[in-house]
Amino acid sequence: MKPFQYATALSPAGARELAGENGAYLAGGNDLLALMKEYLVEPKILVNIKSLPGLNKIESDGNAWTLGAGVTVAELEDHEGLKQLFPGLQQAAAEVGSRQIRNVATLGGNLAQHSRCWYFRQRDVLCLKKGGDTCYARHGENRYHSLFTGNTCISPVVSNLSIALTALDATAIVRRGDKDVRMTLPELYARAWDNPTAHNSLEPGDLLLKVEIPVQGRRSAYLQMSEKSAFDWALVSCAAAFKVQDGKINQARIVLGAVSPAPYQAKSANDFLEGKTLDDLEDKIAAQAADLVLEKAHAQTHNAYKIPIARALIRRVLLQLKAQV
Average pLDDT over every residue of 212-219: 96
* Residue 107 parent element (H or E): helix 107-112
pLDDT, tens only, 231-240 = 899 999 999 9
Where residue 65 sits, what CATH number does that domain have? 3.30.465.10
Q: What is the mean pLDDT of the chain?
A: 96
Same domain, 92 and 64: yes
d(CA 123, CA 101): 24
Q: Please check whether residues 77 and 210 belong to one and the same domain.
A: yes
In a domain, residue 148? The reply is no
In a domain, 240, yes or no: yes
Q: What average pLDDT score do residues 118-129 get?
A: 96
Say what the pTM is: 0.96
Claim to verify: residue 162 and residue 258 sit in the same structural domain? no
Residues 101 and 87 in one domain: yes
Q: Could you give the CA distance from residue 120 to residue 184 in angstroms, rounded to a whole number?
A: 27
Smallest Cα–Cα separation from 298: which of 172, 161, 151?
151
Output the domain CATH number for residue 48.
3.30.43.10
Phi and psi torsions of 221, nearest 5° = -155, 155
Do 67 and 191 share a domain, yes or no?
A: yes
Residues 249 and 264 in one domain: yes
Domain count, the chain: 3
30 lies in the same domain as 178: no
Q: Are residues 281 and 231 in the same domain?
A: yes
Distant-in-sequence, close-in-space partners of 124: CB < 8 Å, separation ≥ 6: none
The domain of 25 spans 1-53
Same domain, 209 and 62: yes
Binning pLDDT at 50, 70 and 90, where does residue 33 land?
A: very high
